[in-house]
Amino acid sequence: RPAVIPPPAPALKLILGEMAGLLLTGQKAIPDRLKREGFEFRLAELEAALRESVGT
């Protein structure tokens, strides 16, 4: 979910250097190896998995 107030990009870049890019642009991780091996996630979305883990 996007932040309501965007982070100040120049400040993050100054403090975090190259790592600021991960916070500013995000990163999509795809489990290629698991998919190739036929693994099926019971809960494919992170939000659903987190909600179930905390019981809400």
Per-residue model confidence (pLDDT) at position 3 = 59
Per-residue model confidence (pLDDT) at position 43 = 87
Helix (H) or strand (E) holding 32: helix 32-36
- DSSP string of the chain, one letter each residue: ---SS---HHHHHHHHGGGHHHHHH------HHHHHTT---SS-SHHHHHHHHHT-
Tokens 């993050």, residue?
12
Question: How does pLDDT run across 1-55, given as a tens digit for each residue?
Answer: 565 677 688 888 899 888 888 778 776 778 899 999 999 888 888 888 889 999 8
Per-residue model confidence (pLDDT) at position 38 = 94
For the CA atoms of the chain, what is the radius of gyration? 16
Domain boundaries, the chain: 9-54
Q: Is this model's pTM higher than 0.95 or not?
A: no
